[in-house]
Structures are given as C-alpha cells and as structure tokens.
Amino acid sequence: MIRKSTAILLLLLSFSLLSCQRDGGQGERGQKDEGRTRGAETEKREVVASLFPLYDFARNVGGERAHVTLLLPPGTESHSFEPKPADIIALTRADIFIYTNKFMEPWVDDILKGVANKDLLVVNASSGLSLMEGSGEDGHDHDREHGHGHDPVDPHVWLDFSNAIRMVNTILEGFLQVDPAHGDIYRKNAEEYQAKLKALDEKFRSTLAGCGQKMFVSGGHSAFGYLARRYGLEYRAAYGFSPDAEPTPGELAEVARILKKNRLHYLFYEELLTPRVAEAIAAETGATLLKLHAAHNVSREEMERGVTFLSLMEENLESLRTGLQCR
C-alpha cells in the first residue's frame, strides 16, 4: 500500500497536473490530441504495464504502433513495489494502463485516484479468469471467480499459458478500443504471439509428461501453483503467496521432510529474491538449487540482455526437466 506521505504527494501532483491541463485552454493534453489527429498513421500509443509478463504481452500485441513502458524498475521485487509520483506522471500521459489483478497489485486503486487522465483506459488482464485459492485442509487447490470469497488467492495467473493466451486477448481488446483504425495490425500481432504461447504450452506438456518425478518443491513463496495444475504436477512451497512472509521453523521442517520422503534431489528458488530460505533447506537436505523464474519482473542484466516471457519460460522448462528427471 502507498504510505501516507506518498499518498499526499500523489494527490498534490494530480491537482497540479489537472491544473496544467485546464490552464491556457488545451495545454499539453490538447497538443497531444491534436497530434493524434494530424499524425494518426505514425503516432505510437503510450502503454504502461505493471509487471513484466504484461509488458511483454503488450509489446507483442502493439508492435511498432505502441511504446510500452514497464512500471516496475528492473530489479524491483514486484510484491514490495510502492508507486511514486513519477509513476503518476507516466499514467497521466498514457493511453492504456495494464495490470494483473487486485491481488497481485493491491496498490492499483490508490495510484489511479491520483491520475488526472480521464481518457486513460485501465485494463485488468485477469478479467474473466478463475483464480486459484490456497490449498485447503484436504490438500487440494480450489478455484473461484475473480473477486469472490475471503481466502488467500494465488494471483500468478500468467504461469498457466492458457491463461496467458486469454490475457493477450484482453490486452488486444484494449488496443482495439483506443485505436480501432489499426485493429487488423493488432489482431494479426496477437494471433502470431498466441501461436507461440500455444507451442510453448505443448512443449511443456510433452516434456513434463515423461518425468521420473511429479513433484517439485520451492524454497520461496507459492508462485507456481498454476503451472503445476496445468501439467498435472504436485507442488509445495516453503510459505504462502507473499514473499515478505517469514516461514516458521515448522514450515521449514515440513519442506525438508517432503524432500526426504519423496527422495527429491532438487529445490527451486525464485528470481530477484535472496534464496536464504532455500539455501537453509538445501543445507539440511543436501538438495541442489535450481532457479525457477515466475517472471514478475526481471533484473537489469536480464532487461539489457533482451529476455522475453517466452525465453524465461524456456529456461524454466530446462530447470524442470533437470529437477523432475525428465527423459
């Protein structure tokens, strides 16, 4: 959540931006709209995406007709992100803002209150998807429609690639709404990217069908439930959906017990988080650590290297191939 001091700054900034728009007639906003009319064929749509998967999806759908910005600075852990006044400015100048869902980005409502941009299209990329709840006492996952119930919800929907395909459709609808004149371009881009996601899904399915192990364990927070469900795998994590939580000694002992009982030789850890918990469990059990990238965000080095959602998932498949002893 935004702290009180930050919230005040955002509010003051929104008043300032609103005042600038009103003063002098059209101001900067008017000039921008006028530019759209004169140069509609060449102007790029300004798109801001909260997390890396959405950023990459939007880049593929928008193609050369979109300038897509990632709201999270590279290297920033997504769950602990706190918006700043500069983020308000970015959204005030944007045509589209894309976020995952209210469980993944609980700060969205607060930041949007400070945006003096009545034309901003806000896209909830999880719209229409069923979200997984935490495991119940019976040890099974349960689905529910977005926004209902009170139990912890797994917000990492993009790690089920069938969900990712539907999220691309939702993002496509956003582009069609703000720029219908170039709908054919956006539709073609979306279809081509969805074909790549479908091919990736099939590659995961065929590879993971022939594995000696069907369970994988993470020494981090619970981020890979959708991936496990999609491919018929069992999954355990050291603690819940928030990486800020601290696992209890009992939870650590339980993870170690599961590794030993199931004769698992590999333990997974996450991107952008110091694998302190995973290292402690590995030291206790003798497990080898492997990285599994949930793709919330990427490091500066990864951004400079030009990684994509697809390339990160390919790396994940190699890690799973090793960890699950696949043929």
Tell me which range, 81-85, 194-198, 220-224, is most confidently predicted by mean pLDDT.
Answer: 194-198
End position of a domain, from candidates 152, 175, 202: 202
pLDDT digits (tens, 9 = 90+) for 230-243: 999 999 998 887 66
Check whether residue 237 and residue 314 sit in a common domain.
yes
Domain boundary among 179, 202, 225: 202
For residue range 8-24, what is the model confidence (pLDDT) as tens digits?
Answer: 444 444 444 443 443 33
Q: What is the pLDDT of residue 264?
A: 96
Q: For the segment 176-211, what is each residue's pLDDT rounded down to a tens digit?
A: 999 999 999 999 999 999 999 999 999 999 999 999
User: Whose structure tokens read 């983020």?
Assistant: 87
In a shared domain, residues 74 and 196: yes
**Neighbour count for residue 222 (Cβ, 10 Å):** 22
**Residue 243 pLDDT:** 63
Q: Which residues are bridge partners to 172 per DSSP?
A: none
Residues 214, 190 share a domain: no
Least confident interval from 56-65, 111-120, 141-150: 141-150
Q: Provide mean pLDDT across the span 78-99.
A: 91
Q: Are residues 180 and 218 in the same domain?
A: no
161 and 235 fall within a common domain: no
Of the given ranges (166-175, 251-260, 304-313), which has the lowest mean pLDDT?
251-260
pLDDT tens readout for residues 121-151: 999 999 999 999 864 332 334 343 333 333 4
57 and 82 in a single domain? The answer is yes
Backbone phi, then psi, for 234, in 5-degree steps? -95, 145
Q: For the residues 205-232, what does the mean pLDDT come to?
A: 95
Query: Are 175 and 313 found together in one domain?
Result: no
Domain extent, residue 107, equals: 4-202
Q: What's the domain count of the chain?
A: 2
Question: Sorting pLDDT into bands at 50, 70 and 90, what band is 80?
Answer: confident
**Do 198 and 215 sit in the same domain of this protein?**
no
Residues 82, 13 share a domain: yes
Domain identity same for 250 and 135: no
- The CATH number given to whatever domain includes residue 254 is 3.40.50.1980
Residue 274 and residue 163 share a domain: no
Q: Are residues 313 and 216 in the same domain?
A: yes
User: Can you give the pLDDT at residue 275?
Assistant: 87
pLDDT score for 40: 53
What mean pLDDT, rounded, does the chain reach? 84
Q: Of the candidates 145, 178, 202, which is a domain's last residue?
A: 202
pLDDT tens per residue across span 257-315: 999 999 999 999 998 887 888 999 999 999 999 999 999 999 999 999 999 999 999 99
Compute the distance between CA of residue 52 and CA of residue 268 in angstroms, rounded to an integer. 21
